[in-house]
Amino acid sequence: MRKLVFVTSNAGKAHEARERLEPLGFEVEQRDLDILEVQADDLDVVATEKARAAATNLRGPFFLEDAGLFVAGLRGFPGVYSAPTFRTIGCEGLLRLMRGMRAGRNAEFRAVIAYHEPKTALRLFRGACAGTIATRARGDQGFGFDPIFVPDGGDGRTFGEMEAEAKNLVSHRGRALDAFAAFLATKGAQRERGKR
């Protein structure tokens, strides 16, 4: 198995990555690095800058991910600031901000994976999942704003009520990981052809 370092402090994210990448022959090693996060309004910029910072500490290939919940009725808030917003006000605080709001409850979770390999250009892989914000938190699965996000096209459950396998099939992170996995599979096939 080839080893890939996933720079994250979130065990839930690492679990999702292992579920997607280990069947392709990649061992995912979680590494927690203290990286200064640039403040920007664009996930691509945040992920790119974090990858550049991490590259000063890591030698081999690694990837990291940045994600956010973008709520239409809050003009995209919390967006790239989702993690600090969750730590500060949590699901209940976000629901209070939306109290009485009937329209504008549509939202989108977005994820960007940045993959760094020495001597090659940084690559970005994106995924998104549209849905709505529930009127109350439901479920204790997942992490972050999962208990208040209801994905479109599902059975009405929040991410917080879904088993990890079901969530991973439709989640923003799952879709970004699928794009990343497709790239790794293609790259592996090219490497095998080069050996012949």
Catalytic residues: 66
Cα separation, 95 vs 114, whole angstroms: 31
Residues 183 and 122 sit within 8 Å (Cβ to Cβ): no
What radius of gyration do the chain's Cα atoms show? 17
Instruction: Centre a 10 Å sphere on the Cβ of residue 171 and count the other Cβ atoms it contains.
Output: 25
11-21 helix and 172-195 helix, angle to the nearest 10 degrees:
40
Cα separation, 31 vs 23, whole angstroms: 20
- Closest by Cα among 171, 173, 169, 139 to 65: 173
Distance of CA 84 to the CA centre of its chain: 15
* First vs last C-alpha separation in the chain: 20
